Amino acid sequence: MSSKAETKRLALTPGEPAGIGPDLCVALAQQTQAVELVAVCDPDLLETRAKVLGLPLALEPFDPAGPPSPTAPGVLRVDAAARLATPGIPGELNPDNASYVLETLNAACAGCLNGRWEAMVTAPVHKGVINDAGLAFSGHTEFLAQRCAQLTASGRAEPAPEPLIEPVTEPVMEPVMLLSAPVLRVALATTHLPLSQVPNAITAPRLEHIIRVLTAGLQESFGIPRPRILVCGLNPHAGEGGHLGHEEQDVIIPLLERLRAEGLNLAGPMPADTVFVPPQLERADAVLAMYHDQGLPVLKHLGFGQAVNVTLGLPIVRTSVDHGTALDLAGSGRADAGSLRAAIALAAEIVTKKP
């Protein structure tokens, strides 16, 4: 692995082959990067998409033995760790390629664990088509937690295809999803859960784990010595003293009081309809939302296209875009690479700050 002074070597997974991920990879390859990007994918996908977009692209096989170095404009290094089952056609989902998508994530994850890459950056995947293929998949965050746990427990970090065709079980590691934009950071206590399942998931052990991982992540990855975290309530008006729900009284308040007594800088539980107002955010390093659509609509309203999804609590560095596959834009040349560019920059920054 490179030293802190050297060029950072990052794995880049293009995600759903029918979406805009391949477009974004081709577009970024047109510019000089401050890092060495290695696309973990089928090279035919990028060559074909470059032709569709009318952009020049020369692919170089990735050499793990060589020193990391930035590539020239119009050039991208590729690790052909997986091959498409059928050609990726812009805008046309095909379940036959679902295993391929997971294999690229598997290879990138293993490569980060064994030191081949210093971080992985992911373009968007399509959860629906992966599940349509019979592969239980709730998102990058959960999948990578499972793979890191499996590879760490086995004592090896080489891709293994077997777990890709089995149902995804509860990961041993429970990471934290943090969306970071220039004006706001929002972490999630629960991620891709149906709303009906959220109240039962708001337990004291889970919240304590989330808060500790978030605090450590803000310290280590963002260089904030004593981060101030605003914690949302689950219910309207943070439960209104128990009249609009009991989770605050029973779980959240006692936990926050205990953690504050340890010295953690926590405010709340705060009503979600007022926690995002400017005077509150000016005093905060992050907001902890109880569920996906409590916090992310505000984050994306304020920073869409510039926000980055950061996975905290894993033994690897992983960042991602703040948007989906945008099938209607695939192959059109109109996809905005801003979020992917920000994800690459933040991954390199986090790697530099890590001890």
- How much is the pTM? 0.89
Distances (CA, A) of 343 to 13, 33, 300, 337: 12, 13, 15, 10
CA distance 285 to 265: 10
**Per-residue tokens: 220:** 């280590």
CB count within 10 Å of CB 279 equals 7
Say yes or no to pLDDT of 152 above 90. no
Q: Is 140 annotated as a binding residue?
A: yes
pLDDT in tens, 97-142: 999 999 999 999 999 999 999 999 999 999 999 999 999 998 898 8
183, with CB counted inside 10 A (0-12, 13-18, 19+), is exposed
Per DSSP, the residues of 184-197 read EEEEESS-S--GGG
Q: Is 192 annotated as a binding residue?
A: yes
Tell me the residue type at 135.
L
Residue 124 near residue 324 (C-beta atoms within 8 A): yes
Q: Are strands 176-181 and 308-312 parallel, antiparallel or unpaired?
A: antiparallel
Say yes or no to pLDDT of 162 above 80. no
Helix axes 43-53, 21-28, angle to 10 degrees: 80
Over residues 19-23, the mean pLDDT reads 98
Coil, strand or helix: which one is 154? Answer: helix
Q: What pLDDT does residue 167 have? A: 36
CA distance 84 to 340: 23
Instruction: Give me the torsion for CA of 57, 60, 66, 67, rounded to 10°.
Output: 10
pLDDT in tens, 248-273: 999 999 999 999 999 999 999 999 99
**Mean pLDDT score of the chain:** 91
pLDDT in tens, 165-206: 343 444 456 899 999 998 899 999 998 889 999 999 999 999
Q: Is 51 annotated as a binding residue?
A: no
Distances (CA, A) of 284 to 100, 220, 224, 264: 41, 17, 11, 13
Q: How confident is the model at residue 310 (pLDDT cuts 50, 70, 90)?
A: very high
